[in-house]
Amino acid sequence: MSSSKTETQWAARLRDAVKRNYSDVAKETVRVAMASVRPDGSPGVHQVVFHEQLRTDSRVLVLSGPARNATLVSTLKGNKTHDLFWSMPKTGETFTITGKVYLVAAPNFSHRFGTPPKRIGVVGNASPDDFWEGERMRWWKALTPFYRATFSWPAPGELRSLSDTASWSVYAEPLVKISTPAHNVGFKYTRLEVIEDATVNNLTIGRNYSIASSGGSLPRNGSATPTRSSVSSVSSAGGPVSPTSTVVATIGDQPQNAADELRWVHNSALDNFCLLVFKPTRVDHVQPIAGKPPTRFVFTVTKEGDWLTEEINP
C-alpha cells in the first residue's frame, strides 16, 4: 500500500505520538539516541535534540547538536546513513527511523562541514543557504536558556582537566581546527538568553576569521558573523585550502566587562549551534496494546518518493 508524496502515515503517527508524550518539545529539550558507524568502523551512539517535523515538509525531522562535538561531526561527515531510536516516555511506543543526515552549521563554517540540503523543505524564492540559516536562527531563539547555554561549554568528550584550553578540533585528519582566544568561560553559564542584535552590530569584542595555510594567513571579514560570501571569497582569493589548514578565530582584546563577556559567549555559542536535518528512508513503529501483542508497521520509501506500508510481527 502506498501513500501520497505530501502526506505519509508514519509522519502523522509520529506527530500524534509527540503530542501524546510531550506538552511542548520546545521547552522540554527532547533528547533522542542516534546510532551511527564511526569513521573507524566501530558503532557509536550520540544524543541529539529533536525540535520538530519540518514545517514545510513533515517527512523531514529537525534535530540539533554542537559543532564542537568532534566525534559527532566526524561521524556525520563520514557516514550519511544513521538510525534514530525514540522510545516515547508515556505511551511506550517506539520509532526506529533510518535516514540521511545533513549538517546546517553557522555560515562561516558551513562549507567546512558540508553544505545545507538544497532540495529538502526549501520553499519560496529563498536560496537553500538563506532558508536553512533562517531555520537555524529561528530555532536558536526558541531554545531553552539552559540548552542554549550548553553550546558555550567546552568540547564534549574532552578531558575535564583540559576544559580551560582555547581551541577545539573537528577532525583529526584532515585537520580543521577552530581556535578561540585564551579567554575561556568553561561551564560558567547555565542560562543564556538571546541577544537579538548580536549578529548585526559590531561588538566591543569582535571576531576576525582567517585561513592559516602553508602560504600564510589570509585575514577576512571581522564582523560578528562573517557572511557566506566572505567565506567563499577565502577560497577564491587564496586558492583551495590545504587539507592541513586551520580555520582560526581570534579576538583582539579580552572582554572588559560582564556585558562584553556575555556577548562574546553568546556569539561563540551561536557559532557552535548546528541543525541536523534528518531525511528518513525507513520508519519502524511499534505500538504496545494492553493485554495483547503490540502492533508493528514498517514504512519504506521508494526511489520515486512513494511510501510503502507493511505490517510485520513485533
Domains of the chain: 2-150+274-311 (2.30.110.10), 161-257 (no CATH)
pTM: 0.77
What pLDDT, on a 0 to 100 scale, did the predictor assign at position 186? 81
Q: Which of 57-66, 155-164, 237-246, 294-303 has the lowest mean pLDDT?
A: 237-246
Residue 112 in this model has a pLDDT that exceeds 50: yes
* Residues contacting residue 159 through CB under 8 Å, at least 6 positions apart: none
In sequence order, the β-bridge partners of residue 299 are 283, 309
Cα separation of 31 and 209, whole Å? 33
What pLDDT, on a 0 to 100 scale, did the predictor assign at position 163? 58
Provide mean pLDDT across the span 115-141. 89
The DSSP annotation for 134-157 comes to HHHHHHHHHS-HHHHHHTTSPPTT
Provide mean pLDDT across the span 236-261. 50
Beta strand pairing call for 307-311 and 292-301:
antiparallel
Q: Which of 52-56, 109-113, 182-186 has the lowest mean pLDDT?
A: 182-186
Residue carrying C-alpha cell 502492533: 295
| Contact in structure between 266 and 192 (CB atoms under 8 Å) | yes
pLDDT band at 138 (very low <50, low <70, confident <90, very high): very high
Residue 17's CB is within 10 A of a number of other CB atoms, namely: 19
Residue 248 in this model has a pLDDT that exceeds 50: no
Q: Which of 81-90, 172-181, 218-227, 257-266 has the lowest mean pLDDT?
A: 218-227
Residue carrying C-alpha cell 545533513: 102
* Residues contacting residue 248 through CB under 8 Å, at least 6 positions apart: 177, 178, 179, 209, 210, 211, 212, 217
In sequence order, the β-bridge partners of residue 85 are 33, 96
Cα separation of 266 and 141, whole Å? 12
Task: Decide which of 73 and 109 is more confident.
Answer: 73
| Contact in structure between 44 and 69 (CB atoms under 8 Å) | no
Residue 53 in this model has a pLDDT that exceeds 50: yes
What pLDDT, on a 0 to 100 scale, did the predictor assign at position 20? 96
